[in-house]
Structure 1
Amino acid sequence: MAKVLREQGFRAVVYPNDHRPAHVHVIEAESEAVFDLHCPGGPPALRENYGFSRQDLRKIETILSRQITDICERWRAIHGAA
């Protein structure tokens, strides 16, 4: 797995052998969520949630939105295209 972002205790990762569409897994402690990126400009959208509160999900979406261009570039570097 490739870490593409770490902020406020959240870690966003991309798995090299993962499927499309472009997405990240956000992990923190025992919680995980999957956000589709909608590259190149977003907005990120929640696809799956395992344990995050609504407040945390809003915070994660804000973090991802601010960094969407860089995250999409990292996805392309790993997978070849968004």
Structure 2
Amino acid sequence: MLSVEGYFVRIYLNDHLPSHVHVIKDDGECIINLVGKNGNPELREFYNLKAKEVAKAIAIVQENQQELINKWKTIHSG
């Protein structure tokens, strides 16, 4: 769906609420809710990523938040 500097952002077709993305880098992954308590993306969980990689993943989602929200709604609206 979205690829930035080796980070791959995915929305899965048969996924569940809350709206979120999976960000994959090498053998690591984090799951980021698209809208957290303050309206910004919010980290839910991560595996095999360093703190700076998690921060970069969150920044990528933040920069593309509205596009990702729109894509989630399109995929899961039917």
Normalization by structure 2: what TM-score?
A: 0.90
Unaligned runs of at least 5 residues, structure 2: none
Aligned pairs for 1:36-47 (under 5 A) are: 36-38=33-35, 42-47=39-44
Aligned pairs for 1:3-82 (under 5 A) are: 3=1, 5-38=2-35, 42-80=39-77
Q: Distance in 1 between matches of 2:41 and 2:60?
A: 10
Q: Distance in 1 between matches of 2:26 and 2:59?
A: 19
Q: Distance in 2 between matches of 1:20 and 1:65?
A: 19
The root-mean-square deviation of aligned C-alpha atoms, in Å, is 1.6
Give % identity. 33
Unaligned runs of at least 5 residues, structure 1: none
Q: Distance in 1 between matches of 2:16 and 2:22?
A: 12
